[in-house]
Structure 1
Amino acid sequence: MMMEHKQTILLAPSLSNSSCWRSGTSDAAWTGPGPGELIRAALILLLSLGILCANLLVICVINSRQYSKYIHAQPRYLLTSLASNDLAIGLLVTPFGFLPAVYGCWPYGEVVCQIQALLRGALTQQSAVILVCMAIDRYVCMLHPHRYHKHSSKRYYMRQGCVAVMSTTWIASVAIFGVLVLPRGGYYFNGSGLLACDPFFARASLRILACCCFYFPTTMVLMYCYGSAFHVNKLRLKRVVCVNTPEVVSGGHIERLVAHERRLSTSASRTMAAMSLGFIVMVTPWTIQEVVAACTGSKPPPFLDFLATWLALSNSFWNPFLYWLLNNHFRRISREFLYTKILCRSKPLGTKQHCCSTSTGGLDVCSIAGIDLSGLERCSMERCSMARCSSLSLTNTPPLPWETGHVTHGDVAST
């Protein structure tokens, strides 16, 4: 009896039973939605719009010229890949749950259901793979900065390497889930959780294996890489320098540039670690539910199934939100982008934009004699806040190499 139970093969529910158009009839099987169905549909619609808008903003901002001085090439490629994958989830997966949430049936047909199940599995797995690549990148950058800089300085090869890795992993994810989903009976309409089509596993052991391979290796790699990186950074066992500036710095200015680059690397690592932590928090309830349901052979309550599934999918929205929350440069450039490109208004000007410049690799330098050193604005010395500019003592510090030819010691002394 035990052997027979282990070899039990499950059959996927027939899609015709969940279709809004019953086979052999011309009448729709739709019923009027109630308040619960409307709330579910509203949540799905808002989440889909949030995923689309947030990830489009991330892609546009981090690849803009204004933001290029605040991020290195390798993290930019990886963050763009993650945002593109999340954008695909918000475009090809989550919106298809809107009508089923309202009417409780599948209105799009069997072929769309099959494609939906394939994309649901492949895109979700690809998100985990990209997060792992980001963690490994931060691990190498903070523990082996010289090796990282040696390879990251070759931008063309790094870009080609990122494209090759992302393409290979994407093809592998599609191939694995294609083997599971493309045969008939490899997909079904999940009317309580996703409210769309999911991959169907004929054996409970395969369902447990798929969940564990998705969750546990990803979590272990993320925790190890970021834990080791921040431990080394805290103890300062190495001087982390990930240089991304063409200026030649010599003398006493190298310490300032080293400190700036260390802050830049630590800030990027902290943001990526927060996104990875968000992934773990959001996906854990869904993983526990899937493993328990497969082990016990039971079906979770519809409310809990819906909550756990869509909480895991909402990770595609929280990734851009966490990046916006933890990165002030991203917030500032995002506001400029929204004002100038979307609302067609003039750039919003703040106190720091009037009086201080970050075009020198993030080092704040006040305008002198009414001229902004960035060459972007003209402003008076009276409008410069001493609190913002007191971090640089211009009277005691010789001019930076990029300041020569514009500001002399006599000019500084006269101010």
Structure 2
Amino acid sequence: RKVEMKSSNWSQSMSSVAEVPTLDLLCFKINGSCYRSLYPFGIQFAIYLVCTLGVLLMVLGNLLVVISIFHFKVLHTPTNFLLLSLALADLLLGLTVLPFSAIRSVESCWYFGDDFCRLHTFLDTLFCLTSIFHLCFISIDRHCAICDPLLYPTKFTVRVACTYIAVGWGVPVVYTSVFLYSKIIEESLDHFLQDMPCIGSCQLLFNKLWGWINFPVFFLPCLIMIGLYVKIFIVANKQAKQISNMTRNTGNPQHQLGATKREKKAAKTLGIAVGIYLLCWLPFTIDTIVDSLLDFITPPVVFDVLIWFAYFNSACNPLIYVFSYHWFRRAVKLVLTRQIFSAQTCTIDLYQEE
């Protein structure tokens, strides 16, 4: 009898010991909880460090864009208003979304509740879509500027820029609100929805329809940008050849060289912009549609890498569209040296060569 009791107590103690590591692996100590990703401290610290540096780069770079365009009056142009709105979307993404996304990526758990999960998903989708729409509108602006330079000042006015900005924010707000906060959509499409894989994952709209709808929403601006930038590249090369022929006849090789370099630089900058956009967004977009066809087989680690690649595009925007301009370098210098606190600096002509 005593032997049986000892055997029973031993088995119970071994069972409780076996449950301890299992509970430690769960996000929450409840049934149906997600499992945590247990990385060694060094790897975990490295991931947090990379995420933190990426967020800082995104926030500081876009903050400099916002301050510069807002402060200096000479930068109050239709094109720069688009850049300002784009930088604001990327800045808000870095401030409100990415810190929580970093914790979820490292811990593979969502600790902030269901309501904030829905809000976080709303802001994430909103700012990413807004950024993509603005990149598309900037490509339209550049297309008008290079392909139709004489009519460009009358075509692309402040009013047109404000319309683009309103559409760039309004459409993502409506689109995201309908799918995240509308009960009608959720009830009418119930047969498309799949159950949440576990508690603590914060994977809203985990269904096949979401992948099919997101694909054209993200991919269509991509096709527009590629088409416009290809035409811009062709027109820029044609203009460079025309300038070369004109300067050869007038015998002004220095002017010819300067003009050719400017055209090549503009075409190269546009090519880099398209390349980085495709590099950042196409892997995530393609994985979304393929994953929906194959019942979501993408490992969480791979999905996190792809979504952070997409986030990285928002950190690249200031480098691609703004940091290559000499006027922005002058503006950053004035901001960092705190000369913007002087009332006279707001009227400085940043376009004038030093």
Instruction: Please confirm whether the aligned pair reaches a TM-score higher than 0.5, indicating the same fold.
Output: yes
Show the counterpart of 2:67: 60
Specify every segment of 5 or more residues in structure 2 that has no aligned partner in the other structure, as ranges: 1-24, 187-192, 244-253
> How far apart are residue 201 of structure 1 and its match?
4.5
Show the counterpart of 1:132: 136
2:115 to 111, 117, 140: 111
What CA distance in whole angstroms lies between the structure 2 residues aligned with 1:187 and 1:62?
45
Q: Is 1:83 paired with 2:87? A: yes
Of the structure 1 ranges 300-309 and 32-41, higher mean CA displacement relative to structure 2 is found in 32-41
What CA distance in whole angstroms lies between the structure 1 residues aligned with 2:223 and 2:63?
30
Change (3 A) 1:263 1:100: same
User: Is the Cα–Cα contact under 8 Å of residues 106 and 189 in structure 1 kept in the other structure?
Assistant: no
Show the counterpart of 1:175: 174
- Equivalent AA in structure 2 for residue 214 of structure 1: F
- Equivalent AA in structure 2 for residue 295 of structure 1: L
Change (3 A) 1:31 1:229: closer
Deviations 1:6-43 (A, max 9, x none): xxxxxxxxxxxx9955579xxxx989763343333322
User: Is the Cα–Cα contact under 8 Å of residues 135 and 222 in structure 1 kept in the other structure?
Assistant: yes
What CA distance in whole angstroms lies between the structure 1 residues aligned with 2:119 and 2:211?
19
Change (3 A) 1:273 1:92: farther
User: Is the Cα–Cα contact under 8 Å of residues 52 and 87 in structure 1 kept in the other structure?
Assistant: yes
Q: Secondary structure at the match of 2:338?
A: helix
> How far apart are residue 96 of structure 1 and its match?
1.0
What CA distance in whole angstroms lies between the structure 1 residues aligned with 2:206 and 2:298?
17
Show the counterpart of 1:381: none
- Equivalent AA in structure 1 for residue 239 of structure 2: R
Change (3 A) 1:282 1:201: same
User: Is the Cα–Cα contact under 8 Å of residues 260 and 363 in structure 1 kept in the other structure?
Assistant: no
Q: Secondary structure at the match of 2:82?
A: helix
What CA distance in whole angstroms lies between the structure 2 residues aligned with 1:83 and 1:77?
10
- Equivalent AA in structure 1 for residue 89 of structure 2: N
Show the counterpart of 2:229: 226
Q: Is 1:48 paired with 2:55? A: yes
Change (3 A) 1:183 1:159: same
Of the structure 1 ranges 119-128 and 308-317, higher mean CA displacement relative to structure 2 is found in 119-128
Deviations 1:124-152 (A, max 9, x none): 11111111111111111112222212245
RMSD: 4.3
> How far apart are residue 312 of structure 1 and its match?
0.8
Q: Secondary structure at the match of 2:226?
A: helix
What CA distance in whole angstroms lies between the structure 1 residues aligned with 2:37 and 2:213?
37
Show the counterpart of 1:411: none
**Structure 1 or 2: larger helix share?**
2
1:327 to 282, 307, 325: 325
Change (3 A) 1:261 1:118: farther
Identity %: 21
What CA distance in whole angstroms lies between the structure 2 residues aligned with 1:271 and 1:63?
24
Change (3 A) 1:168 1:325: closer
TM-score with structure 2 setting the length: 0.70
Q: Secondary structure at the match of 2:72?
A: coil
> How far apart are residue 179 of structure 1 and its match?
1.6
2:154 to 138, 141, 150: 150
What CA distance in whole angstroms lies between the structure 2 residues aligned with 1:19 and 1:114?
22
Deviations 1:75-102 (A, max 9, x none): 2011111111111110121111233345
Of structures 1 and 2, the one scoring higher in RCO (CA 8 A, sep 6+) is 2
Show the counterpart of 1:353: none
- Equivalent AA in structure 2 for residue 311 of structure 1: F
What CA distance in whole angstroms lies between the structure 2 residues aligned with 1:125 and 1:39?
29
What CA distance in whole angstroms lies between the structure 1 residues aligned with 2:229 and 2:296?
37
2:218 to 214, 219, 229: 214
Deviations 1:257-293 (A, max 9, x none): 9x99998898667545533431111111112222221
Of the structure 1 ranges 277-286 and 297-306, higher mean CA displacement relative to structure 2 is found in 297-306
- Equivalent AA in structure 1 for residue 236 of structure 2: N
- Equivalent AA in structure 1 for residue 224 of structure 2: V
Q: Secondary structure at the match of 2:151?
A: helix
What CA distance in whole angstroms lies between the structure 2 residues aligned with 1:271 and 1:76?
17
TM-score with structure 1 setting the length: 0.61
Change (3 A) 1:301 1:263: same
What CA distance in whole angstroms lies between the structure 1 residues aligned with 2:316 and 2:211?
26
> How far apart are residue 322 of structure 1 and its match?
2.6
What CA distance in whole angstroms lies between the structure 1 residues aligned with 2:163 and 2:26?
40
Change (3 A) 1:209 1:190: same
What CA distance in whole angstroms lies between the structure 2 residues aligned with 1:31 and 1:287?
25
